Amino acid sequence: VESSILILSHTPGISSRALDMPGSPIRRSFMAARALQERGVDVVRLDIGDPDFALPPHFAAAIEQALRDGHTHYSPMAGVPELRAALAAHVQRRYGVDCAAGEVIVNQGATEGLNAALTLTCDPGDFLLMPEIYWPNYIQQVALAGVRPAFYRLDRNFQPVLDDLPGLAAAAEEAGSRIAAVLMNSPSNPTGAVFPRATVEALYDFARDHGSWVVSDEAYCDYVFEGEHFSPLMLDRRQPVDERIVLAVFSASKSYAATGLRLGWTIAPTPAAAARLQIINEPLTGSLTTPLQYGLAAAVAVEDAHERRDALRGRWQLAHEMLAAAGLESAHPQGGLFYFVDISRTGLDAEQFADELLQQEHVAVVAGDGFGLQPHFENAREGFYPTDLARRHIRLCFAVPEARLRQGLEGLVAFLRRKTAGEGGR
């Protein structure tokens, strides 16, 4: 025993940064659902945000052509020129703003784009201001970058409580630091909130007044069912180039139902920022997948996002009707691919709810916990805790075939009825 203790004491330890990183709850529910499926159970998967469409044929055809043309070598770190030009033209058409190809950086998915944006905008110890309910990878990225999160509260409709902002800036200063960047994600994963123009303006003005950057995660910009997507690019691009502060990050995963291709892009505020992002890409990706970029260049040249949005509209509506009929008080999502549903009246917390729903009805959803983790600042070693708001919600994705969505929601409603009527009702 003594000798093994001796050996253990010489075993290298895993870094505290790695140990402190919370795992994504989406992966956890993914694994639980997979385990059931491997036992032959038919699980309705409403857990993953992966739209069920096929890749547009011209996207696939352009990839095949690129392969045949021998575009299989290292790509420039900022992306192939054809794609950067196509993305700049796409942004110009879509938002009515100027955008040069030199301001576009291609990413290995929006995930990498966001990591690069954090590296560009924040030093270790700086604060990133972010919503209290958020896509879980943000908190992991914050941990990876050594950045401190500060959270803006969300109201009943998951819109930012703007009155909080001055107090948050003062608190960052009191902590001897500053808010280096303000993160916004509209439409939001998981809440589906779409920030109106006035809210985007308020967050943007706050950032300008405090010398902060804005990081705008627009992964779901093509899925707005009510209202309109308003990008802070539309404010920022009115400013002189050297006063611009917005980095906008986009994703082919959601826009083209291409989660497996790992393609995203960032619109950098200035050519100088773009040049830095290009350097940051080097350690993060090594290089980007070359033939796939030609596919994306062909895809963005065709403005057909409305077709995919309209194909989902009926499912978004169906989910609304079934949840509302069951009396589930969910803030109505205006965009995105998800419903973030308040399940508190069952008396269960979200993790219990998701576990039991999976085991009893074979419907997979994600517990809200991981969408609202906050660090124990007083004692960082204790890691993160989920807020009460997060623990009252589960997330479900409606971008699945309609019959499956209906089946999954029927299971959820039956489960809910049982839970609210007492356990005996089955």
Ligand X SMILES: Cc1ncc(COP(=O)(O)O)c(C=O)c1O
Q: Which residues bind ligand X (CB under 6 A)?
A: 49, 109-111, 135, 185, 189, 217, 219, 251, 253, 259, 264
Nearer to ligand X, 116 or 348 (CB): 116
The residue number with the shortest CB distance to ligand X is 109
Q: Which two tokens stand for residue 392?
A: 């009252």
- What's at 400, amino acid-wise? V
- Angle, to 10 degrees, between the axis of helix 57-68 and the axis of helix 290-300? 140
- As measured in angstroms, the least distance from the Cβ of 79 to ligand X is 14
The Cα–Cα gap between 368 and 371 comes to 5
| Nearest C-alpha neighbor of 106 from the set 306, 302, 280 | 280
Nearer to ligand X, 186 or 212 (CB): 186
| Phi and psi, residue 363, nearest 5° | -120, 125
- As measured in angstroms, the least distance from the Cβ of 151 to ligand X is 16
Nearer to ligand X, 293 or 407 (CB): 293
SS (H, E, C) 294-326: HHHHHHHCCCCHHHHHHHHHHHHHHHHHHHHHC
The Cα–Cα gap between 300 and 349 comes to 42
Nearer to ligand X, 27 or 58 (CB): 27
Alpha helices (H) in 16-107, listed in sequence order: 16-20, 25-38, 57-68, 81-95
> How far is it between the farthest Cα atoms of the chain?
71
Nearer to ligand X, 75 or 346 (CB): 75
The Cα–Cα gap between 219 and 240 comes to 26
The Cα–Cα gap between 202 and 165 comes to 10
- As measured in angstroms, the least distance from the Cβ of 118 to ligand X is 13
Nearer to ligand X, 27 or 332 (CB): 27
